[in-house]
Structure 1
Amino acid sequence: MPTTPTRTVHPTAIVAALSAAGIAVSLMQTIIVPLVPRLPEYLHTSNDNAAWALTATLLTGAVATPIAGRLGDMYGKRLILALSLLSVALGSVVCALSDQLPPFLVGRALQGVGMGAIALGISMMRDSLPPERLGSGIAAMSASLGVGGALGLPIAALVAQYDWHALFWGAAVITLVCLVAVLIVVPASPAHRTAGFDYVGAVGLATALTLLLLPLSKGATWGWATPLTLGLFAGAIIVFALWIAYELRRDHPLVDLRTTAERTVALTNGASMAAGFALFSMSLIPVQLLMAPAVTGNGNGLSMVKAGLFLAPGGLVMFACSNIGARVSRAFGPRSSLALGAAVMAVGYLIQLVLLVADWHIGPWHLVLITCTISAGIGIAYAAMPALIMGAVPLRQTGEANGVNALMRSLGMSVASAIVGMVLAHNVVTVKLPTQAGVRALAFPSNTGYLIATIVSLVACAVSVVCALALRPAR
């Protein structure tokens, strides 16, 4: 329902509605984490098949994000955002009603379709907010990804103890409330229907991303050197090459690759991918250190609920520091904010590295310090990325460009899942622990695994810093 010309909406209400929508969507990434060990039992399936519940959302989210951005530019961002939120709500209802794997996967895939909401919300702020509020609004929207992810873990763990279906009913209600708020509060954005939708380009991008993300997410299970994994990687390279050649010949492509290759956009996307790696690595390492048994030598033996509560402050710090990022960008330019954020992230990983090298036990409060430091850096850096992107592209391409930037973050997170997961899985210590089936030998990551994963994450932070410093200073 379009906004009438006489209607005025306070900028704070617009930022609140869009940020709440971003938090609701990002909750879908962590809402399932507490369920993973019990999903085979809940859905009457095997461990390998249950793992597709995570992969389905990853795949559809990566594919939908750039496509949603392009559709938003063509048909109006509020309309596509509303459809994205509706897909998340529908997917949540399907999951809540499911006791078998196939419908549950359909629901998780529908939830993934809504992952383009954050990029759309950032683009809508450029259309709706006055210039003096734009920086802080974009920063809050960017940080909603981390806030939802951090808060989702303890909340989901608490609810899942009583009724796992209630998690998805709650997600559906929250998403529908956010949908209503967006429709009431946020003005409609202008549409730019310069040409028809590039269906061939959309199919090509979806195929290429699927061929890339499947082996990244399942390679550890299938084996990295198996014909299936290598074949999918080779197929991804071939399809990406064909897709690029096709898009470059189009007058109105799905993704304007010439704009994407522009220095500011390309370097910002590179920094986004590296920051996405650092963000996801932070979610993989601390939770294992908190939950691993104390007998392993490096674990703290906490439950999922307690571990989530120790990790929750990171999301709040990320949100608070996003405003610092906006202020730094306003005073010194978004290039400085991006470099500062990446450097602060590196400090967090350096603290973790020092503790590991010194062979000190990393307790829960050490991890609060580490995750809050890394989260502060992510909040500062993420506030700068949309500003850099939108300052380098025309208004009619903001949805598309932010969608591609969000995709690069998702790819960074996927690469982190593969690399850090592989490192931790191949460097383990085995201990005998009592289980329901008797005493069993169980493997947990060793200090060597954590050390290598931390070094790799530090390298990702360094890449983000280098990309930021290579940007042209703001005039």
Structure 2
Amino acid sequence: MAVSRSASSSGAIVVVLASCGLVASFMQTLVVPLIPVFPRLLHVPAADASWVVTVTLLAASVITPVSGRLGDLYGKRRMILVSLALLIAGSVVSATTSALAFQILGRGLQGCAMGVIPLGISIMRDELPPERVGGAISLMSATLGVGGAIGLPVAAVVAENADWHVLFWTAAGLGLACALLILTVVPESPLRTPAPFDYFGAFGLAAGLLCLLLPVVKGGTWGWTSAPTLGLAGAAVVVLLGWGAYQLRRRDPLVDLRVSARRPVLFTNLASIMVGFALYAMALSFPQLLQAPASTGYGLGQTMVESGLTLAPNGLVMMLLSPVSARLIARFGPRPTLISGALVIAAGYAFAIVLMDNAAELITASVIIGAGVGIAYAAMPALIMGSVPVTETASANGLNSLMRSVGTAISSAVMAAMLAQLTISVGGLPVPSLFGFRATFAVAAFAALAGALLAALVPRTRTAPELVAA
């Protein structure tokens, strides 16, 4: 039950938590502008350099359900501070070296910051008055997309005008500022789950996720039928089945699979995979289209900074729509809101398939997609928290964030493979073809439609009153 707080105190909590969410999601795109030059900067082959990006995704996927459960057990504010401490440590490691091994270590620690978002959503439910919870959760959910969208042009400007290590010193400074704000403004939630932490379950989940996601994100490099890809995929099946059987036998499991199997939670999580897939498809394909040579007849020949700025309105729309999303949830319920958001995403990709001749058209398409993502992401935690015990909100939100990460991981593999295969030659170099871009937009649209269908399978119930705006 939320503690009674003044409007100013509640507003400060929301602003601080949302700011931490922005910083955490910014870590996901922090080095994206450097991807083409990382082999030269780190003096390693491109396949090895790609681990600087891959490890952050893997770390974020593993940490979100684990940190959520730790938050339920030992305090959500405490776990946010731990997540931010790992971000700061990782940023300092990456800022002080150009060695690949230490860059991978630093980026892995930065990925642990993604636990901040589901923990922050749960604190909002615990601490805010009922009339403010809906809008706050919508804003916090939007940071998942906003931080990455805003981070792209910011990182590109820094990368083009300063030593690339400055990006990591900036990240360390942002993490430190967030930690100080959390200590000053955000109270510790009094809600706890009196149970021991399932260390073996955490290890099993981490091992299973790594075996599952590694072939997804590296299959294109290793080969989809190679021994490492098939071996890890098989290991993922064995480990996750064993982990699931173990969780069902424990009295205090890391993830309550019986709760997760409830129809509202299950289909919301499945829809989250599809929406995460559709979101990342834009992040991967739109910049390549904007930066493709104008000589192709469809590329716009933009620079790294220009393409980042072109897509920046997408993130701003997600942020601006958060109060609208809260009102939609309050008026119609989270299920219709999630369906509507997924349909808007599909409409944005349909627009891009037909109209992609200039920057204005691509901005319009990205804004439509961003609007849909903002609406859908706001509805997901409302559906989840309306269906789980109040003592399990952080772990349930962590699992939902994991599902979105799985969607982005699958999207990165599928979109990269499609764009790599459907190419034309420009100056002797392969460039994704017009058909390749349209094909990726079509696949993303179908993923969004699948998300809408899965959301339609969620039972017709309104969320708990404390989760919506008045």
TM over 0.5: yes
Q: Secondary structure of 2:195's partner?
A: coil
Structure 1's 287 and 6: CA in aligned 2 closer, same or farther, altered over 3 A? closer
Contact residue 9 and residue 186 of structure 1 kept, 8 A: no
Matched, 1:240 2:240: yes
Higher mean C-alpha deviation, range 461-470 or range 405-414: 461-470
- What is the letter of the counterpart of residue 327 of structure 1? R
After superposition, give the CA deviation of every residue in 1:185-204 in whole Å (9 maximum; x if it has no partner). 11111252422111111111
Matched, 1:392 2:379: no
Contact residue 322 and residue 382 of structure 1 kept, 8 A: no
* Counterpart residue number, 1:124: 123
Contact residue 53 and residue 104 of structure 1 kept, 8 A: yes
After superposition, give the CA deviation of every residue in 1:234-281 in whole Å (9 maximum; x if it has no partner). 111111111111111111000000000001101110111110001000
Match of 1:407 among 402, 406, 413: 402
Work out the CA distance in 1 between the residues paired with 2:317 and 2:144: 13
* Counterpart residue number, 2:422: 427
Higher mean C-alpha deviation, range 362-371 or range 464-473: 464-473
Q: How does 1:309-320 map to 2 (within 5 A)?
A: 309-320=309-320
* Counterpart residue number, 1:41: 40
* Counterpart residue number, 2:273: 273
Q: Secondary structure of 1:362's partner?
A: coil
Structure 1's 431 and 6: CA in aligned 2 closer, same or farther, altered over 3 A? closer
After superposition, give the CA deviation of every residue in 1:297-336 in whole Å (9 maximum; x if it has no partner). 2211110000000000000001111221110000111112
Task: Report the Cα offset of residue 473 of structure 1.
Answer: 2.2
Higher mean C-alpha deviation, range 381-390 or range 461-470: 461-470
- What is the letter of the counterpart of residue 209 of structure 1? L
Work out the CA distance in 2 between the residues paired with 1:191 and 1:104: 37
Matched, 1:154 2:153: yes
* Counterpart residue number, 1:14: 13
* Counterpart residue number, 2:31: 32
Task: Count matched residues.
Answer: 459
Q: How does 1:15-164 map to 2 (within 5 A)?
A: 15-161=14-160, 162-164=162-164
Q: How does 1:195-274 map to 2 (within 5 A)?
A: 195-274=195-274
Contact residue 84 and residue 113 of structure 1 kept, 8 A: yes
Q: How does 1:258-337 map to 2 (within 5 A)?
A: 258-337=258-337
Contact residue 5 and residue 128 of structure 2 kept, 8 A: no
* Counterpart residue number, 1:435: none
Match of 1:367 among 357, 362, 365: 362
Task: Report the Cα offset of residue 353 of structure 1.
Answer: 2.1
Match of 2:376 among 355, 374, 381: 381
Matched, 1:459 2:446: yes
Q: Secondary structure of 1:10's partner?
A: helix
* Counterpart residue number, 2:465: none
Contact residue 72 and residue 191 of structure 1 kept, 8 A: no
Q: Secondary structure of 1:429's partner?
A: strand
Task: Report the Cα offset of residue 226 of structure 1.
Answer: 1.1
Q: Secondary structure of 1:164's partner?
A: coil
Contact residue 5 and residue 129 of structure 2 kept, 8 A: no
Instruction: With the length of structure 2 as denominator, give the TM-score of the two structures.
Output: 0.95
Structure 1's 310 and 8: CA in aligned 2 closer, same or farther, altered over 3 A? closer
After superposition, give the CA deviation of every residue in 1:80-113 in whole Å (9 maximum; x if it has no partner). 0110011111111111101111111110010011
Work out the CA distance in 2 between the residues paired with 1:106 and 1:180: 24
* Counterpart residue number, 2:338: 338
Work out the CA distance in 2 between the residues paired with 1:375 and 1:43: 34
Work out the CA distance in 2 between the residues paired with 1:265 and 1:151: 30
Contact residue 76 and residue 188 of structure 1 kept, 8 A: yes
- What is the letter of the counterpart of residue 43 of structure 1? L
Work out the CA distance in 2 between the residues paired with 1:267 and 1:328: 20
Structure 1's 116 and 16: CA in aligned 2 closer, same or farther, altered over 3 A? same
- What is the letter of the counterpart of residue 90 of structure 1? A
Higher mean C-alpha deviation, range 453-462 or range 125-134: 453-462
Task: Report the Cα offset of residue 346 of structure 1.
Answer: 1.0
- What is the letter of the counterpart of residue 397 of structure 1? E
Contact residue 50 and residue 101 of structure 1 kept, 8 A: yes
Matched, 1:447 2:434: yes
Q: Secondary structure of 1:163's partner?
A: coil
Work out the CA distance in 1 between the residues paired with 2:183 and 2:399: 25
Task: Report the Cα offset of residue 449 of structure 1.
Answer: 1.3
Work out the CA distance in 1 between the residues paired with 2:447 and 2:286: 17
Q: Secondary structure of 2:73's partner?
A: helix
**Residue identity (%):** 49
List, as ranges, runs of 4+ consecutive aligned residues in structure 1 with deviation greater than 3 Å.
4-9
Work out the CA distance in 2 between the residues paired with 1:41 and 1:6: 53
Task: Report the Cα offset of residue 121 of structure 1.
Answer: 0.5
* Counterpart residue number, 1:180: 180
- What is the letter of the counterpart of residue 315 of structure 1? G
Unaligned residue ranges in structure 2 (runs of 5+) = 463-470
CA RMSD of aligned residues (A): 1.5
Work out the CA distance in 2 between the residues paired with 1:18 and 1:471: 29
Contact residue 322 and residue 374 of structure 2 kept, 8 A: yes
Work out the CA distance in 2 between the residues paired with 1:393 and 1:446: 46
Task: Report the Cα offset of residue 5 of structure 1.
Answer: 10
Structure 1's 463 and 140: CA in aligned 2 closer, same or farther, altered over 3 A? same
Work out the CA distance in 1 between the residues paired with 2:379 and 2:4: 31
- What is the letter of the counterpart of residue 453 of structure 1? T
Unaligned residue ranges in structure 1 (runs of 5+) = 356-360, 433-440
After superposition, give the CA deviation of every residue in 1:413-437 in whole Å (9 maximum; x if it has no partner). 00100111111111101111xxxxx
After superposition, give the CA deviation of every residue in 1:4-48 in whole Å (9 maximum; x if it has no partner). 999996211111000000000111111101111121222222211
Contact residue 89 and residue 176 of structure 1 kept, 8 A: yes
Task: Report the Cα offset of residue 464 of structure 1.
Answer: 1.3
Contact residue 138 and residue 386 of structure 1 kept, 8 A: yes
Higher mean C-alpha deviation, range 404-413 or range 266-275: 266-275
Q: Secondary structure of 2:424's partner?
A: strand
